[in-house]
Amino acid sequence: MRGARGALKTMRIVDDTGRLWRAPEVKFEASEIDLEAFGYNIENRYLVAALETFAGTLPNLRMIEDEVAAV
């Protein structure tokens, strides 16, 4: 796939509740479960283009773009 993509190798969970006593920050590394990454961050323009290309190959897909625009 062309375009910028970034491997999501670290997952950080932060308590953002605003309470006085907050839970400690927790970090998980993909390598801890033998993965290169949890997923990938892909530029939206490349993701949308790939999805549109794939959708065009599906014979039973019905486009409702005009109907949605009318709503």
Cα 30 to chain centroid distance, Å, stands at: 16
| pLDDT at residue 4, rounded to an integer | 54
Which pLDDT belongs to residue 13? Answer: 94
Residue 34 contacts residue 9 (beta carbons within 8 Å): no
Q: pLDDT tens digits for 6-65?
A: 899 999 999 989 889 999 999 999 999 999 999 999 899 999 999 989 988 998 887 777
More confident residue, 67 or 34: 34
Identify the pLDDT of residue 49.
Answer: 93
Model confidence at 2: pLDDT above 80: no
